[in-house]
Structure 1
Amino acid sequence: MTELRSILDEAARQGLISSEAGGRLLPFLTERGVSVVETQKAVAAEEQAWSDTETPRFVRGFHDVLITIGVIVALVGLWGLAPLYAVPVAIIVLSEILVRRQRLALPAVSLTIALFCWTFLLMSRVFTPWTSEIGADLTEFVAGFPILLCVYYALYRVPLSLALTIMSTLALVLTLLLRLVQWLSGNPAFFVDHLGVLAAVAFLCALGLFATALYFDLGDRLRRTTRSDIAFWLHLGAAPALLYSAVSLLSFGEAGRIFDLANMSARTPVVVATVAALMLIGLVIDRRAFVTSGLLSLGVAIFSVVRKGNATVDTYIFTTLIVVGAIVLVIGTGWMPLRRLVLRALPPAIANRLSPG
């Protein structure tokens, strides 16, 4: 009531209303439940609540889990008994019931993944992309994914399907860029002789995927809409793409190979530095996907280093697990305090556009 009175007094001082009208308006508005909300505090509290979690909205209860198990089991059985072309029919029928009518989120994710796997199998049977050269077959193989996934998104609006459409489109752009470079060079085996160029082009496409994920993220900083879910899936794909392409580019030159997982010990500093950079990026944008995606490669690097010593197999396996597990616990338990420190170090113009911390 005090805040409402001060507002009416200020309006009277500015000549918007008379003092008598302000005195009559106060009880009139109060009787009808009109009150003043402290907007800045409310918004701050709301932002804090939204910044405490990174929860994509595809698990809403065990009912979704149960239905998803049924979907997976039924599709696997159908895949084994029916012809290949019967699977998309089943996916569409289930999508009409579970996605369009019942709006079940987790089954929608499983059906999208099933469509992706079916597209992969279909393209593998029609084309033969598994060759040493980057040719038309690889481009045609990749081209099927954005077409089918885009149609599925247009029908059912599943965030994962749009994210996969974007990722497969960028993969298609990558194959086209590689073929263009081959054509300009006049050498079909250009990338066999110039693996560094291949790593550089892949890194540019990974940056494009990351930029697209940031576009969706910055458009929903409080993470209330499906834009946040789309950004989650894009970040999940962008993080490993950035990791592997960056490590391949930075460590190129060892025996003419790029990013050989079987020989990681010499590249461990590069892997550790890249994973640390991804962790910092993850803190800045409040996406744990950037932390988790690098843990597998970090574990492989640590495994390779320990293996070079005289330790037994059990020793270096368990040592790797302890180190990686400790990193996960430190980052996981201290995520919010660490992120607040990082945000305070950023310029306000950048920090205010990010998810609040």
Structure 2
Amino acid sequence: MAGGDPVVNQLSTPPEMLAISPDVLHAAVANGLVTADQAQGLRDLERARTPALEAEPHDDEKFRFISGFSDIFVTIGLGLFLGALGYFSGDMIGNAGMFAVVAVASWLLAEYFTRKQRMALPSIVLLLVYAGTVFSAVAEAFNPSPGFGMGLGNHGGLPIVVAGLVTAGATALHYRRFRVPVTIAAGVGALVASAVGVLFMVTPDFAIQAAKPLLLACGLAVFTLAMRFDLSDPQRQTRRTDIAFWLHMLAAPLIVHPLVSGLVGEGGSDMVSAWSILAIFIALALVALVVDRRAILVSGLSYAGFAFGALVVKAGLSDSVVPLTMLVLGALVLLLSAGWHTLRRTLLPLLPGALARRLPAHT
């Protein structure tokens, strides 16, 4: 680099006057200011200069969710403003118009809070509101309803298909403009909704029975897409790792729901159901360990809470089988948290070498 390069000048600054945070390095790589190898070299240099007792535990699954209390403050304001805007516009122009107005407002607010201020939590919230209101506006236009709900009505799955496709296109435009990592997962989720809508259009009589296998297939497809982003960035230094994080959060419930909902809603003893659910999450834990994604477990466990709650209702408060299973599941999560890196060091050598080399190996 030339002598006037800002990176060189920063490195010459005394350490007590300058500290480069992981977020800054992440942004530098994403914006092309430094290469991934150079950023890793800076991290290695920092670790080498940090006493072992002061070094923080390594975490390969860091992502930017909140940058300060101002994020929370702004998010509260966004909720109040967009909620009131939706209320007044709904009274004047109906549900479809209300959703459209809130979608446009979310985009305009993102121009400031996302594009200029680069606030993490408000950006995520604005994107989710934008995607949800675009979807709802299109679906309501096809199937107007007096309330906020929107059924399939007399149009079969057509409103869901069109709404999903329009939302996927709208989120693509949003990502091109603002580059919020969760946008990819929102767009993929809209496409999954379209796939379900197609099922209700093609085979309405068989749709309920076929919905679970379809969701499972979609979940596996989303997981495969997430792994493509993960394998392309094993050092987890670019925006791709954040995109993969959100895709894993989407994939897990799509995979777990078809498997667990049948155990909760259909026949079979509570003991069999409870231990079957536990077996599913053990398998999910192994996958999470291999790919080094705790997000898979978090997303899956969020659904498991509802599943276990339904089992508790079926079993009755005096039945100890389900609470015992929940206790075992909680212990499993705590053990995984404590021994995550040790377990990964044990599992990775058991994988094919070509695959293991492409997975995160910071253990």
Normalising by the residue count of structure 1, what TM-score does the alignment of the two structures yield? 0.71
Distance apart, 1:201 and its partner CA: 2.8
Q: Please give the alpha-carbon distance, in whole angstroms, between the structure 2 residues aligned to 1:308 and 1:112.
A: 38
Asked if residue 227 in structure 1 is aligned to residue 240 in structure 2, the reply is: yes
> 2:87: which partner in 1?
80
Asked if residue 276 in structure 1 is aligned to residue 298 in structure 2, the reply is: no
> 1:56: which partner in 2?
63
Equivalent residue for 2:165, pick from 143, 149, 159: 143
Distance 1:323 1:73, change over 3 A: farther
> 1:241: which partner in 2?
254
Distance 1:51 1:285, change over 3 A: farther
Moved more, 66-75 or 232-241: 66-75
Distance apart, 1:303 and its partner CA: 5.0
Gaps of 5+ in 1: 1-38, 183-187, 252-257
Secondary structure of 2:151's counterpart equals coil
> 1:22: which partner in 2?
none
Question: Larger Rg: 1 or 2?
Answer: 1
Distance 1:261 1:155, change over 3 A: farther
Asked if residue 111 in structure 1 is aligned to residue 126 in structure 2, the reply is: yes
Distance apart, 1:282 and its partner CA: 0.5
Q: Please give the alpha-carbon distance, in whole angstroms, between the structure 2 residues aligned to 1:109 and 1:262.
A: 40
List aligned pairs for 1:1-357, cutoff 5 A.
Answer: 42=44, 52-83=59-90, 84=98, 85-128=100-143, 130-131=151-152, 135-176=157-198, 179=201, 182=203, 188-192=204-208, 195=209, 197-247=210-260, 260=265, 265=270, 266-300=272-306, 302=308, 311-312=317-318, 322-356=327-361, 357=363
Moved more, 211-220 or 154-163: 154-163
Distance 1:319 1:120, change over 3 A: farther
Q: Please give the alpha-carbon distance, in whole angstroms, between the structure 2 residues aligned to 1:158 and 1:237.
A: 16
Distance apart, 1:262 and its partner CA: 9.8
Give the aligned residue type for 1:164: A
What is the Cα-based RMSD across aligned positions, in Å?
A: 3.4
Give the aligned residue type for 2:207: F
Q: Please give the alpha-carbon distance, in whole angstroms, between the structure 2 residues aligned to 1:131 and 1:177.
A: 12
Q: Please give the alpha-carbon distance, in whole angstroms, between the structure 1 residues aligned to 2:254 and 2:125.
A: 22
Q: 1:142-164 CA deviation, whole Å, 9 max, x = no partner?
A: 22321221221122111111221
Q: Please give the alpha-carbon distance, in whole angstroms, between the structure 2 residues aligned to 1:149 and 1:77.
A: 24
Secondary structure of 1:240's counterpart equals helix
Secondary structure of 1:210's counterpart equals helix
Distance apart, 1:241 and its partner CA: 0.5
Distance apart, 1:67 and its partner CA: 2.2
Give the aligned residue type for 1:348: G
Secondary structure of 1:206's counterpart equals helix
Secondary structure of 2:250's counterpart equals helix
Total equivalences in the alignment = 298
Secondary structure of 1:201's counterpart equals helix
Distance 1:294 1:86, change over 3 A: closer
